[in-house]
Amino acid sequence: MTMLASFSLEGRTALVTGANTGLGQGVALALAEAGADIAAAGIVPADETGDKVRALGRRFVDISANLGTIEPVSRVVQETLDGLGGLDILVNNAGLIRRQDALDFSEKDWDDVMNVNIKSAFFMCQAAGRVMAAQGSGKIINIASMLSFQGGIRVPSYTASKSGIAGITRLLACEWASKGINVNAIAPGYMATDNTAQLRADEQRSTEILGRIPAGRWGEPADLGGTAVFLASRAADYLHGAIIPVDGGWLAR
């Protein structure tokens, strides 16, 4: 196999949660460009993503699921298998963020974020992992964060959940490497998405953030594409438990 061919996802099927917009859409489109068929799962229909995936000549399945609970997890995996005939790649991207001082943070804002960002993500890994273990191969990519490494400000449940994603990624890598499953994570830096709209609208905070990013700009969803394709491909077969920052140099500063 040539080096270039090892990055191809031709004949593979990928399930991406939260693929209707932002980072999830960017990752889904990158995987489709590399050859994968795509299933999208989330509470908001991914019509635009589906149109773009089909325009690339790939199949697309849109699965309605509220990932604030683990109830639909098994159904999402089964609908992916039914619609695309397999499951080779899982991208756990769906996520919530709630901003409030820690002194005033509510139980609801804690539970809502933790349920989506870590609880459903783990059980999605479990459901997909059972399929992948049975077939002896699979790639799981969790979307972590800079706050998998740092404390952050005014986002206690988000920080806790993304720190948890880093831990779960490592644990599953240790358990499942011998089963032919690669479990890794991408840690995006400050990206221009709905989740950062408040930060970008705050002129002082946005200036502070940009002043620390060596690349000098907010990231775009497409910036995650190359890393996602790499982790989903055979080129990353010996990568287990890695958490790769895609942050414009934020952590290096």
C-alpha span between 15 and 49 (Å, rounded): 13
C-alpha span between 243 and 220 (Å, rounded): 19
Of the candidates 158, 176, 218, 230, the residue annotated as catalytic is 158
Q: Is 238 noted as a catalytic residue in this protein?
A: no
C-alpha span between 147 and 142 (Å, rounded): 14
128 contacts 138 by C-beta, under 8 angstroms: yes
Query: Residue 72: which residues within 8 A CB-CB, separation 6 or more?
Result: 41, 65, 66
Closest among 133, 28, 122 to 84, alpha carbons compared: 28
140 contacts 125 by C-beta, under 8 angstroms: yes
- How far lies 193's CA from each of 18, 47, 58, 190, in Å? 12, 18, 25, 9
C-alpha span between 75 and 61 (Å, rounded): 13
| Catalytically annotated residues | 158
